[in-house]
Amino acid sequence: MLPHTAVVALMANIAVETGNTFDYKIKQRGARKPAHGLLQLDPKGKLPDYMLYLTANGYKDSAETQIRYFMDTIYGSNKAEIGHGVASKLRAIIASGSHIQITVALSDMWFKPSKPHLIRRLAQANIRHSSNQSAAETKRLRSFI
C-alpha cells in the first residue's frame, strides 16, 4: 500500500497530466498519436504495454486499471516495463521520501513527460499535502490497490 506522501505525489502528477480533469479516458491534445488516460500513456512508450496488460489480465480500461498498471510496474510483475532498477529506486523513494521528493521522482522516472511542468506538479503536491482533499483522494486511491 502506498504511503500518504506517495498518494499525494501520484495525484499531483495525475492532476498535471490530465489538466485536473482526472478523466481516465482523456487524450493528449494536439498530438497525432495522443497519449491516453490518467497516466498519459504514450503510444511510443507505455501504451502498448498497457494494452497487453489489459488483454493478458482480462481487464477493461478504467481509472482503477490504470492505477493497478502503475502499481504493477513498480511493485508487481511488470517491473520490466520501466526497468527493474528504476522500479527499485522508486520503491525506495516512495518508502522514505517526502511528497516533494516522490513527486519529482515519479515525474522523472515514471511519467517522463516531454514538458515536465515541474512547478505545476510541485504546486499540486503542496496543495494536496496541506488539504483535506488528500485524505479523500488517499482513501479512494487505496480502494483501487
- Is 58's pLDDT higher than 70? yes
CATH architecture of 4-144: Orthogonal Bundle (1.10)
- Is 133's pLDDT higher than 90? no
> How many helices and strands (H and E) does the chain possess?
7, 0
- Sorted by sequence, the CB contacts under 8 Å of residue 102 that are 6+ apart come out as 5, 6, 8, 9, 10, 93, 94
Residue type, 56: A
As a whole number of angstroms, the distance between CA 52 and CA 72 comes to 13
C-alpha cell at 131: 488539504
Tell me the pTM.
0.92
**137 vs 88, more confident:** 88
Closest CA to 94 of 79, 82, 81, 104: 104
pLDDT of res. 141: 66
Which percentage of the chain shows pLDDT scores above 70? 90
As a whole number of angstroms, the distance between CA 111 and CA 92 comes to 17
The residues with which 27 forms a beta bridge, in sequence order, are 36
pLDDT-derived band of residue 99, with 50, 70 and 90 as boundaries? very high
